[in-house]
Amino acid sequence: MTSTTGSIITVTLNPAVDKTLEVPGFQLGAHAQAELKALVPAGKGVNVARGIVRLGGRAAACAFIGRDEERMFAERLSAEGVEARFCVVAGRTRTNTTVLDPEAHTTTHLRERGFEVGAEDVRALRMALTDWLAERREATAVFAGSLPPAMSPADFGALIGACASRGARVFVDTSGPALQAALETRLVDALKPNLLELGECLGGAVERSEAPRAAERLLDRVGTVLLTLGAEGAFVIRRGLTVGRRCPVPGREVRNTVGCGDAFLAGWLRGEQLCDDPAEALCWAVAAGAASAVSETTVGYALADVEALLPRCEPVG
């Protein structure tokens, strides 16, 4: 493989098969007719990689994967133009089910527990990552999603360190103890918290009105904070720079909120490649998040959808 500059690899430690059902008039405890809308390989990092390719970029996806799901993931990602680097583990890849009710405009999420991984699995994934990064300059490693059962925050921090030692920029989108472990490395170039996760970082709840200023307190440990606030928009926060943008979407147009944060991150990474101005890159991010929200399925948006939403983007303070 020839050396490439600016390559992106996403890392999904706890992947999933995303199953989307449409159930008009959905009610708990009742029998209902369901229509299968999608059954796709997923997990936050996988979604980001697929999203970057949808937006005209290139990306690879590295992930743990259950043996029985390896072929499906490989075939689907290859068909979409995503390079795959899998570390096969014992156990079944979890299925996450989303139930869409078009009458009530509700979205219900059912999430399964992931497989467990051992020390040898973590070592194999670290080798796969460092081998891939060794062939590339100025690459970006994107860690997105939760840790699988039995994987420790210390293991997560070591993976971040291994990528940073290869000269990669490191982006992180996670929560809980994994988020704290990432911060403690002081090797993260960009962190993407929502309001709740920002509170986790800072040790207490943060009010929406104070969030951008509060996020500045993380800049002694990370280079950039990408703060997402759902329909209210998002901010990019660096030393000497705070910019906010949103892409308004009427509530009646929203179809599926699963994966909007992943679409945001894919949009930001693609926007960085296309735009020198962080504000313009942020417009790509919020437009991609909006495009995902109006799509029925996870990563159901296309480049044309995002480009059509870019003119809607507006400043937010």
Catalytic center residues: 262
- Residue 83 token pair: 């390079």
Residues with Cβ within 8 Å of 282's Cβ and at least 6 positions away in sequence, in order, are 234, 235, 236, 243, 244, 245, 268, 271
- CB neighbours (10 Å) of residue 238? 15
| CA 93/CA 46 separation, integer angstroms | 13
CB 289 within 8 A of CB 251: no
Select from 145, 215, 270 the least CA-distant residue to 287.
270
Residue listed under structure tokens 């059509």: 308
Amino acid present at 295: S
What does DSSP assign to residue 206? -
DSSP-derived secondary structure letter, 194: B
Beta-strand runs (E) in the chain: 4-5, 8-12, 16-22, 35-42, 60-66, 83-89, 94-101, 106-110, 136-137, 140-144, 169-173, 188-191, 222-228, 234-238, 241-246, 314-315
165 is written with which tokens? 């030692």
136-137/60-66 β-pairing: unpaired
